[in-house]
Amino acid sequence: MTKEDFKAWREHMGFNRRQACDALGLGRNTPQRYEDGKANIPLYVALACAALAHGLSPWTKNDNGRPGKADRETVTLSLTPTTVARFKALGDNWRPIMADVLEHADNK
């Protein structure tokens, strides 16, 4: 995600910088630093922006650790091999939901 992409996302969402901070869980100066090109935008922030733009809610799980039927939302993702490799490079430190994305990508 480029600094221009980030600003376009923020404006598309109708967020000022403070609202973008709150929505993404970022420090107060971080969106300004992204938009000024003083900080690189991490993959997880770009993914969070995409999730918010598609109306996805935060991760929740039921008793067996899987998303509950009412909690699951369907979104079609187009993942390039490079994006899949970047997810896999995160290893076990990524949220369990990404395992479903990677499994789907591997089975295509």
Q: How many residues are there in the chain?
A: 108
The residue extents of the domains of the chain are 1-56, 57-108
CATH of 1-56, one of 1.10.540.10, 3.40.640.10, 1.10.260.40, 2.160.10.10: 1.10.260.40
What number is the average pLDDT over the span 79-90? 65
Task: Please report the pLDDT score of residue 40 as a whole number.
Answer: 94
**Residue 75, SS3?**
coil
Q: 1 vs 107, which has greater pLDDT?
A: 1
Task: Please report the pLDDT score of residue 105 as a whole number.
Answer: 54
Query: pLDDT averaged over the chain?
Result: 76
Task: Please report the pLDDT score of residue 70 as a whole number.
Answer: 45
Task: Please report the pLDDT score of residue 14 as a whole number.
Answer: 93
Torsion of CA 56, 62, 65, 69, to 10 degrees: -60
Task: Please report the pLDDT score of residue 72 as a whole number.
Answer: 46
pLDDT digits (tens, 9 = 90+) for 15-66: 999 999 999 999 999 999 999 999 999 999 999 999 888 888 776 666 565 5
pTM confidence score? 0.57
Write the DSSP symbol of residue 57: P
